[in-house]
Amino acid sequence: MTEVAMAKVRKNFSDAVNRVAYGKERVVLTRRGKGFVAIVSMEDLALIDALENRIDLEEARKVLADTTDKAVPWEKAKKRLGL
């Protein structure tokens, strides 16, 4: 992973983009010595999305496993909700 100061990137943004797109690098833009944004390839973005989807699916499965299978009759539910 390459870190580049924002001031330097402003002068030649296309160089940073080309390093990511063709050099398969990940570029972290820094401001005052701290990273604040990253430029990643489309392949990396797809991987990040897939990982997030997998985490969401695992969390949803845990929630579904923790729920009871007891159905509440509609009339009872309306009464509880004050409808």
Q: What is the CATH number of the domain that holds 8?
A: 3.40.1620.10
What are the residues whose beta carbons fall under 8 Å from the beta carbon of 1, sequence distance 6 or more? 25, 26, 27, 28
In 3D space, the residue among 52, 51, 43, 46 whose CA is nearest the CA of residue 20 turns out to be 43
Comparing 4-8, 21-25, 52-56, 79-83, the range with the smallest average pLDDT is 79-83
Within-domain flag for 81:
no
- SS3 state at 41: coil
73 pLDDT higher than 90? no
The number of beta carbons lying within 10 Å of the beta carbon of residue 29 is: 20
63 pLDDT higher than 90? no
Structurally, the chain folds into a number of domains equal to 1
Within-domain flag for 72:
no
What domain range is 39 assigned to?
2-66
Within-domain flag for 6:
yes
Average model confidence (pLDDT) for the chain? 90
Please report the pLDDT score of residue 71 as a whole number.
77
